[in-house]
Structure 1
Amino acid sequence: MQRERSIGDVIPMVMDIVARARNLLLSPGAEWRNIAGEATSVERIYRDYVLYLAAIGPIAGFIGTSLIGIAGARIGLASGLLLAVLRYGITLAMLHVMAIVIDRLAPHFGGRSDFLSAFKLAAYSMTAAWLANIFTIIPALALLAIVGLYSVYLLFIGAPVLMRLPAMKAPIYTIAVVLIGLLLNYLVGSMLAALLVQPGFPG
């Protein structure tokens, strides 16, 4: 009986995730206003949304690099699995860091400091990027993941709504957040690359 209730809870949750992602992609302005008015928490956003979409990249990447391979070359299963787990954990942690960045920068651009709103903006603006990672499941199509740049537009549209930024300052605020995010991702990527070539790393 308990299992039936658990399974029954999964379907509405999946439908909610699909509806949210669809609305963000197709009508972001209206959806950001809905998100701004929602009573929720950081933990709930992680539990009901982030944990699932953030897993797309690590899972697709593992399949693409360890099972399918690039030009016949594959990363060992153990290495691929470990990298996928590390990538997933880092993604979840980086989201929290980016929420802090979004929150701390907002007052400097005429906005407000509100961590929950900043976390909403960080989490939901990543929707396009996380979904686009599905293309990495086939290495030959990995370049198509560039459509995930739509997340920059989502951030731009959502910033004035969630952080109460003046519309005229939203572009430079978005650029600042993206540049910091790129720098952090570069640093993390460099550390992962260095880890991969360590002699003791599993093959």
Structure 2
Amino acid sequence: MILNHIWGLYTHPKDEWADIDNRHESIMYGLSHIMLVALIPSICGYYAAAHIGWSIGAGDPVKVTESSAMVLAAGMYAAIIAGVFALAYLIQWMAKTFDATPNFTQALELAAYAATPILMVGLAALYPVLWFVAMAGMLAVAYSVYLLYSGVPIMMHIPEEKGFIYASSVVTVGLVLLVCVLASTAMIWTLGFGPEFMG
């Protein structure tokens, strides 16, 4: 099953990383995982934005039209897939510096499975209150970082000391990718492609 590693990543992450590394799954398996899990924030974000409305402090919930929400959800889905692929490419590219020789499939697995908690927290959008989603997001980011630190030495076959520095580099690159996505979104919105709010 595509999602069979998720429970293990939450209950016994180091053992699960070893299992992922031992299986040598195909690139289609990793791709299927990320394409399926990326649907969670996209669908939940769509439903919250168009049908529930976001509560930002006092006042009525803020909603966007269904067509705007659909465009935002599709854009989010594409950005997630592109972001995970970019992170996987950078993981493989940085590997030489740390005496690791992963193939792209290993790098994609590391990026996809480490990002899973961040994507699964998209379920929090079904209760679209800003403070709640922000708290859930911070917990998910913290666990994703933990998964990355525990997974890099195992997946890249390097000592833990090198793995710590390698994982720190991956976290930095991930933050830069996030800033690039947010900046791109802001630029697109200023060009007139922003969401259409409901009155």
Tell me whether the two structures share a fold, i.e. TM-score over 0.5. yes
1:146 to 113, 138, 141: 138
Structure 1 stretch displaced more, 157-166 or 69-78: 69-78
Q: CA deviation at 1:189?
A: 1.5
1:55-70 aligned at under 5 Å gives the runs 55-70=39-54
SS of equivalent to 2:176: helix
Inter-partner Cα distance in structure 2 for 1:145 and 1:137: 13
1:145 positional shift: 2.2
Q: Bigger relative contact order, structure 1 or 2, given CA contacts below 8 A and separation 6+?
A: 2
Indicate the residue corresponding to 1:179 in structure 2: 172
1:105 and 1:197 map into 2 onto residues whose CA distance is 34
Match of 1:191?
A: 184
In the other structure, the counterpart of 1:46 is 31
The aligned counterpart of 2:68 is 79
3-state secondary structure, aligned to 2:188: helix
Q: Which residue of 1 aligns with 2:113?
A: 124
Contact 2:64 2:195 in 1 (8 A): no
Aligned partner of 1:103 in structure 2 is 92
Give the stretch that moved more between structures: 148-157 or 167-176.
167-176
2:58 alignment counterpart? none
Structure 1 residue 43: Cα displacement: 1.8
TM-score by length of 1: 0.85
Alignment gaps of 5+ in structure 1: 1-12
Q: Distance in 1 between matches of 2:140 and 2:97?
A: 27
Structure 1 position 97, deviation (Å): 1.0
- Structure 1 distance, partners of 2:172, 2:15, is 26
* Alpha-carbon separation, structure 2, partners of 1:133 and 1:151: 14
How many residues are matched? 187
Residue identity opposite 1:119 in structure 2? L
Q: 1:50 and 1:108 mapped to 2: Cα distance?
A: 27
Instruction: Judge conservation of contact 1:96–1:119 (CA < 8 Å) in 2.
Output: yes
Matching residue's letter, 2:140: G
CA distance in structure 1 between the partners assigned to 2:11 and 2:182 by the alignment? 31
TM superposition shift of 1:110: 2.9
Equivalences for residues 156-167 of structure 1 within 5 A: 156-167=149-160
Change (3 A) 1:202 1:25: closer
Q: Distance in 2 between matches of 1:28 and 1:155?
A: 10
Contact map agreement 1:112 1:163 (CA 8 A) in 2: yes
Deviations 1:117-164 (A, max 9, x none): 111111111121111121122221212222212011111111111111
TM superposition shift of 1:39 = 3.2
The CA deviation at 1:200 is 5.4
Letter in 1 for 2:102: S
Identity, % of aligned pairs? 27
2:17 is aligned with 1:32: yes
- Partner Cα distance (1:57, 1:158) in 2: 24
Q: Structure 1 pair 198/124, CA: closer, same or farther in 2 (3 Å)?
A: same
User: Structure 2: any 5+ residue segments left out of the alignment?
Assistant: 56-60
Deviation, 1:179, is 1.2
